[in-house]
Amino acid sequence: MSATSSASTPSGPTGTDSRPFWERKRLDQMTRDEWESLCDGCAKCCLEKLEDPDTGEIAYTDVACRLLDTRTCRCSNYAARQRFVPDCVPLSPANVAELRWMPSTCAYRLLAFGRPLPAWHPLISGDPRTVHRAGHSVQGRCVPESEAGDLEDHIVTWPA
């Protein structure tokens, strides 16, 4: 299923669909609040990545974007992030399926490709800490950009 494909909407006896919004709406049908709630808070997308110019292969590093609060795994200036980090790519229903560098566990990518959210996702578990407890976040696993040095020295495999 693509980010813009249609999904069937079964209804019960009352004519309402009781499934959660992420199971009954396409990404492009979600409200801003629904869209934002899909972020599990892993912050893997906030790690610096390197792309091989010859092969296009993406290498993750354990280097956090300068705006990432590594304790909470949230952007410290989300509303103005592109002003401070011009190459920060805002996600949208139109681009999320095409961004090869997004981690395979990302809810936006999972839903764009018709896959379910994992049990540790906060929308499923009801607890924003489950992503960290399940080991799917960068919490305690990354270094600040200001302390990193050469990105090539920080290539890791765990985010992908």
Sorted by where each begins, the domain ranges of the chain are 22-156
- Enumerate the H helices of 38-129 as residue ranges: 81-84, 107-112, 122-125
Answer positive or negative: Cα dihedral of 99, 105, 109, 115. positive
Single pTM value for the model: 0.84
The answer to whether 143 touches 154, Cβ cutoff 8 Å, is: yes
Answer positive or negative: Cα dihedral of 67, 72, 73, 74. negative
Counting as low any pLDDT under 50, the low residues of the chain are 1-9, 11-12
Per-residue confidence (pLDDT) for residue 4, from 0 to 100: 41
pLDDT, tens digit, for every residue of 58-69?
999 999 999 999
Residue with tokens 């401070």: 84
